[in-house]
Structure 1
Amino acid sequence: MREFADATLRSLVFLTRFPGRYASFPAGYALGADAQAFPLAGLLAAIPAALVLLAADAAGLSPLVAATLSVAALVLTTGALHEDGLGDVADGLGGHHERERAIAIMKDSRVGTYGALALLLSVALRIGLLAQLVEADRGGAALALFAAAAVSRGAMAWLWSALPSADIGGLADRMGRPTAAIGLRALLLGDGIFLVLGALAFGILPALAGLALGGLVLLWFRGVIWRRLGGQSGDCLGAVQQLTEIAALLGLALGA
């Protein structure tokens, strides 16, 4: 239990702006070994966003404003880590470039048209879906934030383990790719958390819908990057977190 708690704290350091002084990093540390704790790190990362959501709603602000502030809190907590990955992947794959050129574009810090549009749509969709959930049930919306944060980080870990590195020497490659068993445990843990919290928030059918949509998006994205890049990269992991989070929230919103 203590080991899993340590893995969660170490994962939180890499996935958020959580201060590293509270985590213990052994010699030769590899993040991939802790990937099974990604869903729990996601739960912790969602706490500020959930508190902001509830506080804004309690203060009488509209669901749209409350959702906007909540998504902003989530972006600040993670340091826009996953949004950066989504924008880079959209730029790299959007122009139908060959593998080497696509990877080079993804490493470029500049944001292109495809990246800007992907970020705009990601933020707009998350705000809109969360606002709809607040209208249905503000407590349920807060639980949905936790559920989506957990399942999307489980998807990250699974994708990392399921494909070889497309960017040898890149961040994800240097951090040590998780084993297939670790990736599967993370995926199942994230799915389980999502089902429980989603069902508590809006019922079992919306929770199943969110899980199904998230799974379809995860498999679709895996196929895309396998064909286009021959594997995954750190940017791909960030992108899949964003995509599966949106899909999971969409399933809940459809049912709610």
Structure 2
Amino acid sequence: MSHLKLFFLALSFYTRLPAPKNQDYSQLPQASIYLPLVGWVVGGLTGLCFYLATMLWAQTTAAILALIAGILLTGAFHEDGFADVCDGFGGGYDKQRILEIMKDSQIGAYGALGLVLLMSLKISLLSSLPATSVPFILFAGHSLSRLQPLLLMHHYDYARIHNSKGSAAAYKPSTKELFFASTFAVFPLVLLPLQCGLAIPFIFLVNWRLGCYFHRHIGGYTGDCLGTCQQMAEVVFFLSISALWTFI
């Protein structure tokens, strides 16, 4: 399958944007390396939404509208995984119970609280950064954060080994594929001050600790864990940029 077809396959699965019909979803695992490029699309559109919103409303309102745009574009794909992980690891006491809770479609107290705190933190950070830079920060954040699930997939095994539809889609990106994805993930940083590159080690550190935590408790990762890695990487990027901006 060509690179363009793989990209559109990833775009159709990870977003609600229109894409060519008759996609070959058996190739979806290989298409996952285009996640950072999907981040270009989502980050670019949410950044544009923020920019246009600041022409009419306060920056906090623009930040909320940009986050709403991102949720509409992706169908809350990653946020849903984050909520499931909060419920599973918050309420589960062993691997089997954690996996059972994460598979439940209903959201619990841990998931609800986690989402409220996560979205509140994003709104606070995007509201405090210079408005002229926020569109580029959103663009870079969405791209860079989507590299982290690929790193988790590379280093760990899929945790649901029995009776799981998702286990058939478990995929280990090669080092070459990770380098390919990393190029797209890091490139948007050229639009920001050079010091913003210092945010990268913090993102990788948090992602590494998350991977260790998941591996210790459930022996690997699930799709919900991947969504959580993306969300955590995004908010850590915003936190790091906010802290670094005092020196820019």
Match of 2:45 in 1: 48
Q: Give the match's secondary structure for 1:58.
A: coil
Q: Give the match's secondary structure for 1:43.
A: helix
Alignment of 1:1-256 (within 5 A): 3-20=2-19, 22=20, 25-26=23-24, 29-59=26-56, 61-133=57-129, 136-138=130-132, 140-168=133-161, 169-181=163-175, 184-185=178-179, 188-196=182-190, 200-201=191-192, 203-205=193-195, 207-256=196-245
Q: What is the alpha-carbon distance in structure 1 between the residues aligned to residue 124 and residue 3 of structure 2?
A: 35
**Contact kept? 1:171, 1:234, Cα under 8 Å:** no
Q: What is the alpha-carbon distance in structure 2 between the residues aligned to residue 29 and residue 155 of structure 1?
A: 22
Q: What is the alpha-carbon distance in structure 1 between the residues aligned to residue 208 and residue 186 of structure 2?
A: 18
Moved more, 170-179 or 151-160: 170-179
Q: Give the match's secondary structure for 2:23.
A: coil
**Contact kept? 1:161, 1:183, Cα under 8 Å:** no
Q: What is the alpha-carbon distance in structure 2 between the residues aligned to residue 130 and residue 85 of structure 1?
A: 22
Q: What is the alpha-carbon distance in structure 2 between the residues aligned to residue 81 and residue 51 of structure 1?
A: 21
- Tell me which stretches of 4 or more aligned residues in structure 1 moved more than 4 Å: none
**Contact kept? 2:59, 2:131, Cα under 8 Å:** no
Which runs of 5 or more structure 1 residues have no equivalent in the other structure?
A: none
**Contact kept? 1:6, 1:23, Cα under 8 Å:** no
**Contact kept? 2:53, 2:62, Cα under 8 Å:** yes
Deviations 1:74-116 (A, max 9, x none): 0111001101000000111113510000000000011111111
Return the offset for 1:181.
2.5
Q: Give the match's secondary structure for 1:90.
A: helix
Q: What is the alpha-carbon distance in structure 2 between the residues aligned to residue 182 and residue 116 of structure 1?
A: 38
Q: What is the alpha-carbon distance in structure 1 between the residues aligned to residue 76 and residue 119 of structure 2?
A: 11
Q: Give the match's secondary structure for 1:46.
A: helix
Number of residue pairs matched by the alignment: 244
Q: What is the alpha-carbon distance in structure 2 between the residues aligned to residue 65 and residue 23 of structure 1?
A: 36
**Contact kept? 2:203, 2:236, Cα under 8 Å:** yes
**Cα separation, partners in 2 of 1:46 and 1:208, compared to 1, 3 Å:** closer
User: What residue identity is the alignment partner of 2:77?
Assistant: L
Give the alignment's TM-score, normalised by structure 1.
0.88
Give the alignment's TM-score, normalised by structure 2.
0.91
Identity %: 30
Q: What is the alpha-carbon distance in structure 1 between the residues aligned to residue 116 and residue 26 of structure 2?
A: 36
Q: Output the aligned Cα RMSD.
A: 2.0
User: What residue identity is the alignment partner of 1:151?
Assistant: L
**Cα separation, partners in 2 of 1:109 and 1:72, compared to 1, 3 Å:** same
